[in-house]
Structure 1
Amino acid sequence: MDKYSNSCLLIRTAAVRYYSLKMKLPKHMKIAMGAGGAAVFGVLFGWVIFPVVLKSQLKKEMALSQKTDVRQMWQKIPFALDFKIYLFNYTNPEEVQKGGIPIVKEVGPYHFDEWKEKVEVEDHEEDDTITYKKLDVFYFRPDLSGPGLTGEEIIVMPHAFLLSVVTVVSRDKPSMLNMIGKAINGIFDNPQDVFMRVKAMDILFRGVIINCARTEFAPKALCTALKKEAVSGLVIEPDNMYKFSIFGTRNGTVDPHVVTVKRGVKNVMEVGQVVAIDGKTQQDKWKGSCNEYEGTDGTIFPPFLTESDRLQSFSSDLCRSFKPWYQKKTSYRGIKTNRYVANIGDFANDPELQCYCESPSQCPKKGLMDLTKCISAPMYVSMPHYLESDPELLQNVKGLTPDINAHGIQIDFEPITGTPLVAKQRIQFNLQLLKNDKLDLFKDLPDTIAPLFWIEEGLALNKTFVNMMKHQLFIPKRVVGVVRWLLLSFGILGVLGSVVFHFKGRGVQTTA
């Protein structure tokens, strides 16, 4: 007789003995046994079996396998994100040109629906990874924008293209500044200052004309170099007319970079982890550990978050990882969440961030990050209105009012699934008003960091998806929670009642 047969025989024997014993017991003791069984079942099912089954099921559902709903939402978000842009209008350009402190007035928000999709998606089961490219599409929503904003407002702001060219040449090839001065005069028709007066929608998406139809040597040489370098934000039009915009080249075009992330099928805690970009497992822009891809791609996070967990996500736009930290308990539409917050950081005083600088002494001021090596343009990022930045930055610009609620970065996660229910990711882009004695247009500038615009990418799960989450996860979880306590309570009360009845009956018999 094999082991299986022996086991079956033992089980049958035990069952027969239990039934025989039960048949001989008085009624109140049978009730006690039944109640005790209910209590044991409530404990085992509610506190042991169900949590194990739930965790096992979540591990399957949160992975990026082709069978899961999470994969479909990750690949193509079924709703638009809120994308808001705030421009800074300079009210005293003449004074700034002579070295005065800039005075700015915020104009916005310009509200866009942002639809995000991952295309050219390929699974690689051998190493449990998935590769994709990104596609973003923006639609302007004047009805959700600031009062009366149409995108046709004239904005006065530092000429980002002009300032970037001069800053790069001043740093890398100062001997060419004289030629660059002539090129600027030719392309921009002898500008009187370093500011542009431009329609909001032109600088954001439609494009500002860069006149490269010049035959003189200097303008032609600069335009040829720009075309060769494939400068970000620049579109080559017919007849040597270039167009420059901030977001125009991103709208409706596939990002050429190939991103590789973990699917999480083998280990769900690795889901979404960035493995490589364009086949390279590290960047080559910074020093040491700053070149590593740490964290997820920012669109999915591992489940089972605790307050002590340090989240990480890699931003390809900023060429760095962010590590938000837990702040407090929150809730959204009746679902309990954990709030995480983040900021740009203090590069000079944070050893983990110093590898983004040439040396600790060359790090930018607190709250600033130099993006030159990331985007090949001398741009700085900060929190909006220089929130949590060096006070000197705020002193050098008038009209900014930092507010943690309006300008902070915060994400509310549902901890069991790791799903972000509400997110406000805010970042400001700034440029140096470079002072340079070799160019008349630049010799009197204040040489300070000046804000150009800031953006907010917002997410708030709508009622449909919140209800879906409630019905699939939280309602069953609550039902089990109620049932387990009912079973346990019924069991304990039943056993206690039967025991009391038993001893009370014996006391009556003894008295008799």
Structure 2
Amino acid sequence: MGNLSRARRVTAALGFIGLLFAVLGIIMIVMVPSIIKQQVLKNVRIDPNSLSFNMWKEIPVPFYLSVYFFNIVNPEEIIQGQKPKVQERGPYVYREFRHKSNITFNNNDTVSFLEYRSYQFQPDKSRGQESDYIIMPNILVLSASMMMENRPGILKLIMTLAFSTLGQRAFMNRTVGEIMWGYDDPLIHLINQYFPNSLPFKGKFGLFAELNNSDSGLFTVFTGVKDFSRIHLVDKWNGVSKVNFWHSDQCNMINGTSGQMWAPFMTPESSLEFYSPEACRSMKLIYKEQGVFGGIPTFRFVAPNTLFANGSVYPPNEGFCPCRESGIQNVSTCRFNAPLFLSHPHFYNADPVLAEAVSGLHPNPEEHSLFLDIHPVTGIPMNCSVKLQLSLFLKSVKGIGQTGNIQPVVLPLMWFEESGAMEGETLDTFYTQLVLMPKVLNYAQYVLLALGCVLLLIPIIYQIRSQEKCYLFWISFKKGSKDKEAVQAYSEFLMTSAPKGTVLQEARL
């Protein structure tokens, strides 16, 4: 009797535990997605209390700037009118350091900040030294010549004499360090002396001189604390909501984010839009495919074919014109009126005539396309590679002897890649908190539900079996009683004497 009572208590306890597990599993199935969403929303907004704030403030991902130069093989022949030949040199790799300062939270759910950048040469990752010499177009001479094309002949003559006096030629031989970070040029000193404020720089001239140890402008972006629908979107840059470099409102709009984080919960229909101060415009990338980086699911976004298309191919880009061949963007209006063009490296995804006009160019998607791999749940970049090329349009300008017989050509100067990938402890923490834990919770809810159902079956089965045993016992008891009565009656019959006259017959088998 005691064993039976103990068994009933055990099965009842297991049933109660099973019920709890099943209810908890159902609650988790209903609530966990909402809880995860709320935690993501809480931790990706720009708030000192969010998990991603320090990542936003001091980017833990190591960024590298890799620069490739197009060394001119035949400068004298180009002046005589022959086709340019170039040889790619590099990469010259720099470690890029970024940090935000002057962080100010405003009353309208925005935060303003300056992001400073500095670069440190990495000899072990580079193919060459900063002391390497590169022959490339003299941007100052050729740009000034283009600006004087429609001026009176006397001014062109004066400029020719000035170039000759200062030893200026159409092509120059400078070190990588000078081209990158600046060199003293007598022409700059002369212009600043006689035409003050006509140049945006006073000291050395270099392609990246204005980027090193400087900020990228004052960004004001939405924090997402009060209005999550606008999280990370740029409200203003340098105090304006649109620039005035281009010829249409659409092209002048400052759209998207500052290029570091995007809104979470992306889908394949999402796009990545960001404002680039270096390109003086907003850019939009489109979804390409799903992937995995370090065990973390990602969406890959790439540049559409229309990113640098001219106005005749893609009408919304008409505002960036005057345009040349499709695939290159004229950035002269935001680069001191110098005839500079932005494109993909080696004129990838551009009109083939551009690459055919210069010997030594070999565009291909594997080496020259850009991409960003984003964790779609949080909108945080995992791996990125942004590649752009800077080119100079040059031609002979009648009246300026230094330009000789140069045939019109868009000549690549250099291309660069900004790349970064989450790694080390940061990647491990990200994986644990934002991938592993949600996955464990997702599995746990179904395990609890299944285990609860199994435990609930135990008392049910026990009850069914107990009822069967009672039924069998009752049937057995009833059957046993009838047998006993029959045996007893037969025994009494045998023991009773037979009546007189009765003849007992022999039983036969």
TM-score (norm 2): 0.84
Shift of 1:84: 0.8
Which of 127, 134, 140 aligns to 1:155? It is 134
Size of the alignment, in residue pairs? Answer: 462
- Matching residue of 2:299: 338
User: Using a 3 Å threshold, how does the CA distance of structure 1 residues 107 and 177 change in structure 2: closer, same or farther?
Assistant: farther
Shift of 1:436: 2.3
Shift of 1:363: 3.1
- Matching residue of 2:5: none
- Matching residue of 1:138: 119
CA distance in 2, matches of 1:500, 1:328: 51
User: Using a 3 Å threshold, how does the CA distance of structure 1 residues 137 and 439 change in structure 2: closer, same or farther?
Assistant: same
Q: Secondary structure at the match of 1:444?
A: coil
Question: Within the alignment, does 1:493 sit opposite 2:454 as a pair?
Answer: yes
CA distance in 1, matches of 2:373, 2:341: 27
- Matching residue of 1:205: 181
- Matching residue of 1:67: 49
CA distance in 1, matches of 2:194, 2:235: 34
CA distance in 2, matches of 1:365, 1:385: 14
2:273 counterpart letter in structure 1: Q
- Equivalent pair of 1:204/1:245 in contact (CA under 8 Å): yes
- Equivalent pair of 1:89/1:155 in contact (CA under 8 Å): yes
Question: Within the alignment, does 1:326 sit opposite 2:287 as a pair?
Answer: yes
Structure 1 stretches of 5 or more lacking a match?
1-24, 214-219, 237-242
CA distance in 1, matches of 2:83, 2:167: 21
Question: Within the alignment, does 1:95 sit opposite 2:77 as a pair?
Answer: yes
User: Using a 3 Å threshold, how does the CA distance of structure 1 residues 176 and 367 change in structure 2: closer, same or farther?
Assistant: same
CA distance in 2, matches of 1:406, 1:447: 27
TM-score (norm 1): 0.84
CA distance in 2, matches of 1:177, 1:507: 116
Deviations along 1:229-280, one digit per CA (max 9) or x if unpaired, are 233xx433xxxxxx3111123211345x322111121123422211112222
- Matching residue of 2:422: 461
Which of 39, 43, 57 aligns to 2:26? It is 43
CA distance in 2, matches of 1:71, 1:163: 46
Question: Within the alignment, does 1:400 sit opposite 2:361 as a pair?
Answer: yes
Deviations along 1:192-216, one digit per CA (max 9) or x if unpaired, are 8511111111111142423456xxx
- Matching residue of 1:18: none
CA distance in 1, matches of 2:346, 2:158: 35
- Equivalent pair of 2:132/2:175 in contact (CA under 8 Å): yes
Deviations along 1:127-186, one digit per CA (max 9) or x if unpaired, are 11111223111111111101xx1111111111112112222333xxx2256424533542
- Matching residue of 2:331: 371
* Equivalent runs, 1:199-278 vs 2, <5 Å: 199-211=175-187, 220=190, 222-224=191-193, 227-231=196-200, 234-236=201-203, 243-255=204-216, 257-278=217-238
User: Using a 3 Å threshold, how does the CA distance of structure 1 residues 226 and 494 change in structure 2: closer, same or farther?
Assistant: farther
Shift of 1:67: 2.7
Shift of 1:282: 1.6
Question: Within the alignment, does 1:282 sit opposite 2:282 as a pair?
Answer: no
Q: Secondary structure at the match of 1:317?
A: coil
- Equivalent pair of 1:187/1:210 in contact (CA under 8 Å): no
Deviations along 1:100-134, one digit per CA (max 9) or x if unpaired, are 1111111101111111122222110x211111223
CA distance in 1, matches of 2:115, 2:66: 20
RMSD over aligned CA atoms reads 2.5
- Matching residue of 2:497: none
Shift of 1:296: 0.1
Q: Secondary structure at the match of 2:197?
A: helix
User: Using a 3 Å threshold, how does the CA distance of structure 1 residues 53 and 371 change in structure 2: closer, same or farther?
Assistant: same
* Equivalent runs, 1:425-464 vs 2, <5 Å: 425-464=386-425
CA distance in 1, matches of 2:435, 2:151: 67
Further displaced range: 272-281 or 67-76: 67-76
CA distance in 1, matches of 2:215, 2:30: 47
Further displaced range: 479-488 or 179-188: 179-188
User: Using a 3 Å threshold, how does the CA distance of structure 1 residues 29 and 463 change in structure 2: closer, same or farther?
Assistant: same
2:399 counterpart letter in structure 1: K
Q: Secondary structure at the match of 1:346?
A: coil
Shift of 1:378: 1.9
CA distance in 1, matches of 2:464, 2:84: 89
2:218 counterpart letter in structure 1: V
- Equivalent pair of 2:348/2:363 in contact (CA under 8 Å): yes
Deviations along 1:336-366, one digit per CA (max 9) or x if unpaired, are 1111111533232223323323xxxx53322
- Equivalent pair of 1:89/1:104 in contact (CA under 8 Å): yes
CA distance in 1, matches of 2:234, 2:439: 35
Deviations along 1:391-440, one digit per CA (max 9) or x if unpaired, are 11111011111121221111111111111010000100001122323323
